[in-house]
Amino acid sequence: MARLQLTHLFSLALLSTTLLQDIYSQNKGSDSRFYNYLLKEEMFLEADDYIELNPDIFSTNDSLNFNHAYVKYRLQEIDSSLIYLKHVPPTSPLYVSGNNFITQIYMNQGKTDSAKKYLAAKKSVGSPDISSDIFTLQSSGLALLDRDTAAYHKQFYGALFENRELFQQHNTLNETFNELKKVKKKSVLAAGLLSALVPGLGKIYAGNNAQGFSAFLFSGILAAQAYEGYYRGGISDPRFIVYSCLFSLFYVSNIYGSVLSVSVKNNQLNSQINHEITVNTSIPLRYFFGH
C-alpha cells in the first residue's frame, strides 16, 4: 500500500515538473515573440526596457549582448551599442555580425581607419554568407568614403554576392559613386573674381543660383539708390553717402561670401555624399538583423 502511494507521489511529481517546464518554455517562447514584435514595430525604447527586465529570453549571453547592442544602435546610443558589441567574443557565432555593426558605426562616425581594422578582422575569422556580403558592401562604402577610386573599382568589379538584395544595394551604392564623379571642384579665385565683376555671379558659379540672384538684386537696388542721390544732390548728398556706403558693404561682403561659399558648397556636397554612402551600407544591417 505504502509502495503504491510512493509510486503515485513520484508520478505526480514527475508530471508537475514536466508541466512546469512546458509552461516555462511556452512563456519563454511567447516572451521572445513579444520582443520580436517590438522590433518589428520599431518600438526600440520598449524593446530596450524589455531586455533589461527579461534578459533570460535569450539563450546565451552573446545573443543578449548582440540584441542589446542592436537596440541601442537603433536608439542612436552608439557608445552603449559599441560596449555591448565588444562583449561578443570571437568564439561566438554572432561575432562576425557584431563586427558588421562596429564597422558601420565607425563608418557613420567618419572613422574609416577603425572601420578598416574590423574589416580586416573579419577576413581572419571567416564569416557566414550574409555577413560576408555585408562586409563586401561596407568595403566598397569605405573606399568611397576615402574617395579612393582605384580601391572602389577593384572592390566593385571583384565583388561576389550570394544575396540578391545586397547585390542590388551594391548597385545603388554605385549610383552614389556616379554622383561623386559629377562633382566638380570649383575655384575660389574664380568665384571671387566673378562676384567682383557682377555681384552674385560668384554664387551662381558655386551652384547657388537663387542666392546669387538675390545678392544681385540687393546690390543693384542699393547702387540705383546711390546713383539717384548722386544725380540729384551730387557727391555731398546724404542719400548718396548712405547708399554708397551700404552698397560698398554689400559689394565687399558678397565677394567675401562667394569665396567662402565655394568651400561651404564643396563641404555640403561631400557631407551629402558621405551620408548617402553610410545610409546605403546601413540599410542591410537593419533589414537582416532587425528581426
Partner 1 sequence: MYESSCSNFSKNTFRQFGIMKGILLSADRLTRCTPGALNETPSVFIDEKLKIIDEPAFYFRSATVYLKNN
Pick from 274, 280, 281, 282: which binds partner 1 (CB under 8 A)?
Answer: 274
Closer residue to partner 1 in complex, CB, 187/211: 211
> Shortest approach of partner 1 to residue 260 CB, angstroms?
5
Distance CA 238, CA 215 (A): 24
Q: Which helix (H) or strand (E) holds 66?
A: helix 61-74
End-to-end CA distance of the chain: 56
User: Among 203, 195, 179, 190, which residue's Cα sits nearest to residue 270?
Assistant: 179
> Shortest approach of partner 1 to residue 78 CB, angstroms?
11
> Shortest approach of partner 1 to residue 213 CB, angstroms?
7
* Binding region for partner 1 (CB under 8 A) out of 118-126, 158-166, 180-188, 207-215: 207-215
Q: Does 172 bind partner 1 (CB under 8 A)?
A: no
How many residues are present in the chain?
A: 291
Residue type, 267: N
164-182 vs 129-145: helix crossing angle, rounded to 10: 0
- Radius of gyration of the chain measured on its C-alpha atoms: 32
Closer residue to partner 1 in complex, CB, 250/289: 250
User: Among 291, 277, 275, which residue's Cα sits nearest to residue 138?
Assistant: 277
> Shortest approach of partner 1 to residue 237 CB, angstroms?
23
Q: Does 168 bind partner 1 (CB under 8 A)?
A: no
143: its cell numbers: 573606399
Q: Does 267 bind partner 1 (CB under 8 A)?
A: yes
Identify residues 82-111 at the interface with partner 1 (CB under 8 A). 109-110
Q: Does 50 bind partner 1 (CB under 8 A)?
A: no
Closer residue to partner 1 in complex, CB, 143/262: 262
Distance CA 281, CA 262 (A): 29
Residues that bind partner 1 (CB under 8 A): 109-110, 200, 207-211, 213-215, 218-219, 249-250, 252-254, 256-257, 260, 263-264, 267-272, 274-275
